[in-house]
Structure 1
Amino acid sequence: MRSVFYLWVCLLMAGNVSAQKVATVQELAQWIDSHYKDSALKVSAAYRWVTENISYSTEKAFAINHGLDKRAVIDVAFERRKGVCENFAAIFSELCRLMGFRSEVIEGYTVQHGAMDEVGHAWVAVNMENDWYLFDPTWDVQYRPAYKYYKMRGDEFISSHVPYDPIWKLLPFREESRKRGAIANNYKDSLEIFLSMDSVSKFRSAAKRIEADRAKNRLVNANYKVVKGRLEEQLQELQVKDYEKSVSFMNEAAEKMNDFVDYRNARFRPLKSETEIRMMLSGVDGMLDSALVYLSKVDRSEAVLVYGTGPAREHESALRKKLRTLEAFVNQYFATAANEREKLFSQ
């Protein structure tokens, strides 16, 4: 159980942060971080500032928008001092992050008076004191300073807040076991693995968890589509990067061969040693091999829309053929008597 007394002490010691005139989230985070040494006081000061200085807005401009830039979600609301749950959560989470805490904005739905709210919601998970805790600054605006949704554990929070991604329930015991202590759920280790993943793996694993979760409703289904859409976007971006890397390697190979052709057209002038001449084509095979590796990655992409690599493979094949021709010329050149080599440039 949380210590109510300790919470009150933290909030009282945090002082009147709302009186500070700050222009940016970064400036506020620096101010709090420099004025409080205790980690709990830093978090409580940030929470108090958000709940006292950001007012809830019903303007359409502040409605949750999955396509909005994350920076804009924070900066616009911070400047105007108003926003919806997404803005409250994003600002508080960013303050914590800037002060060195691991923090994540969690999206989900809420249950009030036994019924699910038809509008999605956002809150925050913060890692402090070697554990994860949940915060809802939006709801706590009405309860300040006697906050009800500050630094809560998952098994307390779940009665009113249900995350779309089940991993953020932070339950110490598996839900299906029903009985406390039946089957332990090491959510901390699961989160360590999840948060260490690259963005594609994160969206992929989140989609699998949401799909497998028993809780299916309109909001969960809509979020599942959003996650799948983001996964597709990430896969498309990764595919583009792999294709561009392949093209880059082929361009590098072509440039190196063109430099050699220019030198050959100059009849190997100025003079270079055999080793130096052969080095001019050294590494081209490896560049083309790397190009094929990235083209294979494109072919194996899980994206719905996959780039066609046929033309690129044909280009690589042509470059490889050109390389063999140039290598054959070099071999012939050095196998020919020195006084006969000049004739090779005219063939």
Structure 2
Amino acid sequence: KKGVCANYAAVFSAIANELNIKTFIVEGYTKQFGKISNLSHAWCASKIDNKWYVFDPTWGSGYVNNMIYTRKIDNSYFKTNPNISITNHMPFDYLWQFLNYPITNDNFYNNKFQIDKTKIYFDFESEILKHENSSAEQKNLESAVRIEKNGLKNKMISDYLSEKKALVTFDNLNKISNDYNAAILEFNDYVAFRNKQFKPNISDIDLKKMIQTPRDKFIDCQERLSKVVDVDAQNIQNLKGLKQSLIQILPQVEEQLAFVNEYLSKNNFKRKGMFTKITLFGLKLN
């Protein structure tokens, strides 16, 4: 079988985790012979006896020289201390440096690896624990913040940051879409109930809630959509589709809310004369 660094790291990580050795795949860029590589790289980090070590199964298996791969085992990339691996392996996200005083991308370029205790102490152990217990959206969001904070020194970092932000946007739009679809179902339930002239009888409070709840969800979706930024080409159509759907549905919902408010303001006799059949069913988004 053949593979690139990501494949090597994936196999190593899968085997290690099967053996109950907590292992993460780390993405970043590297330096060899004092020169920054123009290709991103992937390696692994494992926690053994409560201490983190770095493993690079790709570099440990051989090297490329003049576009020719030579198989050669190099154990210097096996179970490396983070303070050593940081001299040639720079994670995009400084969480995976496993250092209490992470170095910046500028430091990496300028070979400045000494500990700077004038910086704010970074408790990476607690942050990794927090990371493990976070949602995918929260993981991507916090990772993006750290990546940007550490400096966008090269295109590899910028591209990786863009990928993280696109994932955050995708997750955000997916949540808004799910809430929109839930509101559509609730609005359709209201429409069906209105076409039955609000029979069987329910309390005025429950009736108001039948239209108020989806209406509030639609408004919430609209407000959240207005705050979505960093939209890539892949997500822009989803964003436009959701915005257009809300533009179409909200006037219908507001009209029905006004109808219910008027209905509730009347006595039982006058309420009966207010009904005409409507067909305002919304369309669910895929």
TM norm. shorter chain > 0.5:
yes
Provide the residue aligned with 1:187 in structure 2.
124
Shift of the alpha carbon at 1:124? Answer: 0.3
Q: Are 1:134 and 1:149, in contact at CA under 8 Å, matched by a contact in 2?
A: yes
SS, match of residue 288 in structure 1:
helix
| Mean CA deviation greater in 234-243 or 206-215 | 206-215
Distance 1:276 1:166, change over 3 A: closer
Distance 1:258 1:204, change over 3 A: closer
Shift of the alpha carbon at 1:199? Answer: 3.5
> Given the two structures, how large is their TM-score scaled by the length of structure 1?
0.59
* Residue 172 of structure 2 is aligned to residue 252 of structure 1: no
Provide the residue aligned with 1:293 in structure 2.
220
Q: Which amino acid aligns with 2:217?
A: S
Q: Are 1:292 and 1:313, in contact at CA under 8 Å, matched by a contact in 2?
A: no
Distance 1:99 1:321, change over 3 A: farther
Provide the residue aligned with 2:22 in structure 1.
102
| Mean CA deviation greater in 293-302 or 203-212 | 203-212
1:158-173 residue pairs with structure 2 within 5 A?
158-173=86-101
- The structure 2 residue matched to 1:121, chosen from 32, 35, 41, is 41
More RCO (CA 8 Å, sep 6+): 2
* Residue 150 of structure 2 is aligned to residue 213 of structure 1: yes
Distance 1:111 1:178 in 2: 13
SS, match of residue 289 in structure 1:
helix
Distance 1:311 1:334 in 2: 35
1:116-155 residue pairs with structure 2 within 5 A?
116-142=36-62, 144=73, 147-155=75-83
Provide the residue aligned with 1:318 in structure 2.
252
Q: Which amino acid aligns with 1:141?
A: S
Provide the residue aligned with 2:211 in structure 1.
284
Distance 2:275 2:212 in 1: 24
Shift of the alpha carbon at 1:335? Answer: 4.7
Q: Which amino acid aligns with 1:210?
A: I
1:251-270 residue pairs with structure 2 within 5 A?
251-253=185-187, 255-264=188-197
Provide the residue aligned with 2:282 in structure 1.
none
SS, match of residue 286 in structure 1:
helix
SS, match of residue 206 in structure 1:
helix
Shift of the alpha carbon at 1:120? Answer: 3.0
* Unmatched segments (≥5 aa) in structure 1: 1-80
SS, match of residue 196 in structure 2:
helix
Provide the residue aligned with 1:48 in structure 2.
none
SS, match of residue 75 in structure 2:
coil
Distance 1:278 1:226 in 2: 50
Q: Are 2:94 and 2:102, in contact at CA under 8 Å, matched by a contact in 1?
A: no
Distance 1:323 1:105, change over 3 A: same
Provide the residue aligned with 2:32 in structure 1.
112
Shift of the alpha carbon at 1:130? Answer: 2.5
**Larger helix share, 1 or 2:** 1
Deviation sequence 1:18-51 (CA, Å, 0-9, x none): xxxxxxxxxxxxxxxxxxxxxxxxxxxxxxxxxx
Instruction: State the identity %.
Output: 20
SS, match of residue 302 in structure 1:
coil
SS, match of residue 83 in structure 1:
coil
Distance 1:204 1:85 in 2: 25
Shift of the alpha carbon at 1:279? Answer: 4.7
* Unmatched segments (≥5 aa) in structure 2: 63-71, 277-286
Q: Which amino acid aligns with 1:246?
A: Y
Residue-pair matches, total: 251
Shift of the alpha carbon at 1:89? Answer: 0.3
Distance 1:311 1:127 in 2: 48
Distance 1:275 1:334 in 2: 13
